[in-house]
Structure 1
Amino acid sequence: MNGAVALPLDLPELSLTASGEALVRRSVLPSGVRILSERVPGARSATIGFWVAVGSRDELGAEAARGSGATFVDALPSRFGSTHFLEHLLFKGTPKRSALDIAVAFDEVGGEHNALTGKEYTCYYAKIQDSDLPMAVAVLADMFTSSVLDETEFENERGVILEELAMADDDPNDVVGERLFEAVLGEHPLGRPVGGSNDTIRAVTRDAVWQHYLANYRPNDLVVTVAGAVDHDELVGLVVAAVESAGWDLSVPARPVERRGADSATVTRGSALSLTTRPNEQAVLMIGYPGFVASDDRRSALSVMNSVLGGGMSSRLFQEVREKRGLAYSVYSFASGYSDAGVFGMYAGCSPKNAGRVADLLVAEFSRLALDGITDLELARARGQLSGSAALALEDSDTRMSRLGRSEITTGEFADLDEGLRRLDAVTTADVQHLAQLIVARPLSIAAVGALDADAFSQVVTA
Structure 2
Amino acid sequence: YADFIDTHLDSCTELLFDILTNPSFLTEHIKTEKKVIIEEIKMVEDNPSDNIMNYFYEAVLDGHPLSLPILGTNNSLKNIKKSAILDYFKEKFGIGGIVISAAGNIKHKDLIDKIKKNISGMKNRKFINDFTGQEPPENGRVKKIHDSKTSSVHMCFGGLGCRRDSEDKYPISLFTNLFGGSMSSRLVQKIIFNIFNSFICNFGYVKKSIYSGN
2:157 is aligned with 1:287: yes
**CA contact under 8 A between 1:331 and 1:349: conserved in structure 2?**
yes
2:208 is aligned with 1:347: no
Q: CA deviation at 1:261?
A: 5.5
Counterpart in the other structure of 1:332: 200
TM-score (norm 2): 0.81
1:194 & 1:232 partners in 2: Cα distance?
36
Q: In structure 2, do the counterparts of structure 1 residues 138 and 280 end up closer, same or farther at CA, with 3 Å as the change threshold?
A: farther
1:159 & 1:329 partners in 2: Cα distance?
34
2:177 & 2:130 partners in 1: Cα distance?
29
The one of 184, 188, 192 aligned to 2:68: 192
Name the structure with the higher strand share. 1
Q: In structure 2, do the counterparts of structure 1 residues 135 and 183 end up closer, same or farther at CA, with 3 Å as the change threshold?
A: farther
**CA contact under 8 A between 2:10 and 2:114: conserved in structure 1?**
yes
2:40 is aligned with 1:168: no
Counterpart in the other structure of 1:129: 5
1:330 & 1:306 partners in 2: Cα distance?
16
Q: Secondary structure at the match of 1:344?
A: strand
Q: Secondary structure at the match of 2:55?
A: helix
The one of 198, 203, 212 aligned to 2:88: 212
Counterpart in the other structure of 2:167: 297
Q: CA deviation at 1:180?
A: 1.4
Q: In structure 2, do the counterparts of structure 1 residues 298 and 234 end up closer, same or farther at CA, with 3 Å as the change threshold?
A: farther
Query: Structure 2: any 5+ residue segments left out of the alignment?
Result: none
Q: In structure 2, do the counterparts of structure 1 residues 149 and 203 end up closer, same or farther at CA, with 3 Å as the change threshold?
A: same
Q: What do residues 170-218 of structure 1 show as CA deviations (whole Å, max 9, x unaligned)?
A: 2222211222111111111121111211111122222222222222222
Q: Secondary structure at the match of 1:275?
A: coil
**CA contact under 8 A between 1:288 and 1:345: conserved in structure 2?**
yes
Taking the TM superposition and a 5 Å limit, the aligned residue runs for 1:357-372 are none
Counterpart in the other structure of 2:31: 155
Q: Secondary structure at the match of 1:286?
A: strand
**CA contact under 8 A between 2:94 and 2:123: conserved in structure 1?**
no
**CA contact under 8 A between 2:20 and 2:122: conserved in structure 1?**
no
Q: In structure 2, do the counterparts of structure 1 residues 330 and 236 end up closer, same or farther at CA, with 3 Å as the change threshold?
A: farther
**CA contact under 8 A between 1:310 and 1:346: conserved in structure 2?**
no
Query: Structure 1: any 5+ residue segments left out of the alignment?
Result: 1-124, 351-463
Q: What do residues 369-412 of structure 1 show as CA deviations (whole Å, max 9, x unaligned)?
A: xxxxxxxxxxxxxxxxxxxxxxxxxxxxxxxxxxxxxxxxxxxx
Q: Secondary structure at the match of 2:145?
A: strand
Aligned-residue CA RMSD (Å): 3.0
Q: CA deviation at 1:126?
A: 2.9
Q: Secondary structure at the match of 2:138?
A: coil
Q: In structure 2, do the counterparts of structure 1 residues 163 and 130 end up closer, same or farther at CA, with 3 Å as the change threshold?
A: same
Q: What do residues 416-440 of structure 1 show as CA deviations (whole Å, max 9, x unaligned)?
A: xxxxxxxxxxxxxxxxxxxxxxxxx
1:196 & 1:215 partners in 2: Cα distance?
22
- Give the aligned length: 210
Q: Secondary structure at the match of 2:158?
A: strand
Taking the TM superposition and a 5 Å limit, the aligned residue runs for 1:27-426 are 125-244=1-120, 247-250=121-124, 254=126, 257-258=128-129, 265-269=135-139, 272-311=142-181, 312=183, 322=192, 326=195, 328-337=196-205, 342-350=206-214
TM-score (norm 1): 0.41
